[in-house]
Amino acid sequence: MMHRKSLYHLTPYLFVAFPLLIYTVWVIGPMLYTFYLSLTDWDGISDMNFVRMENYSRLFRDRVFYTAFLNNIKWIASFITFPVVCGLALAMALNRSIPGAKAFKAIFFFPMVLSFVVMGLIWSWMYNPDSGIINSFLRLIGMGVLTQGWLSDSKLVIWSIIFTGIWRQVGYVMLLYLAGLQSVNTDLVDASRVDGANAWQSFRQVIIPQLAPITVVVVVISIIDSLRAFDLVYVMTRGGPYNSSQVLATFMYNEAFWNYRMGYGASISVVLFMISLLFIFVYLIRVFQTETRT
């Protein structure tokens, strides 16, 4: 009888044990190995030598690292402004009972269905300086002077790729805000109108505060998505021209798998992991504070 009771108490742990084992082997193990690898000079073929913090010392003297880091900052700044503002505006507009609202929601969400690779190829064709639709349209309307080599100009390339990412992100943010608007207390909105508040005042003082929790989620997700920017950059430019569109993820990939500097690439991935972890901790602290208040 005692044996059955002890087995009964162990049942939940037995159900958790196998998924936890898989997670440890496929996630925790490789992560810890990457930390160790970042302290070596392994090239992926020969024996690895333990070099301690030499990779990190070299990393912070590398000009390409600072270019990639700055580009990631541009991604973050762009993703927490334009998609958030545009997504919220679309959500507010489409949350009403207007003709064709469902069709518009589907249209704006459609980019999320496309993979990054397909989207990168499509926009690469659109950005083509000779036959791309953007330059062709500018020439058609008599503004050929504005045509650019969107992916070959070192000053424009990162913004061109970021715009592609924003085009995809807006629909996702819109969907999150549409879900958040379902929990807005409409009685408070109506009360503010009765008290004489106009539409903007009701939106700013009543709706926005109620959307604060979903806004935190949107901002954190946007930051994490911007830090994970790899597919679009790699498909569209592979970090070029002259490393001007590198982000930390592509820089890490190129160093590890093209230049055969596995240890150095691992150090870049550790830095990227630490930056991501910082934002995740901020998000978790905010969630815990919200739950404590409620």
Taking only the tens place, the pLDDT of each residue in 181-234 is 888 888 888 788 877 778 788 888 888 888 888 888 888 888 888 888 899 999
**What does the domain layout of the chain look like in residue ranges?**
38-293
Model-level pTM?
Answer: 0.86
Whether domain 38-293 has CATH 1.10.10.10: the reply is no
Q: Tokens 């715009």 identify what position? A: 163
> pLDDT tens across 137-156, in order?
998 888 877 889 899 999 99
Does residue 5 surpass a pLDDT of 60?
A: no
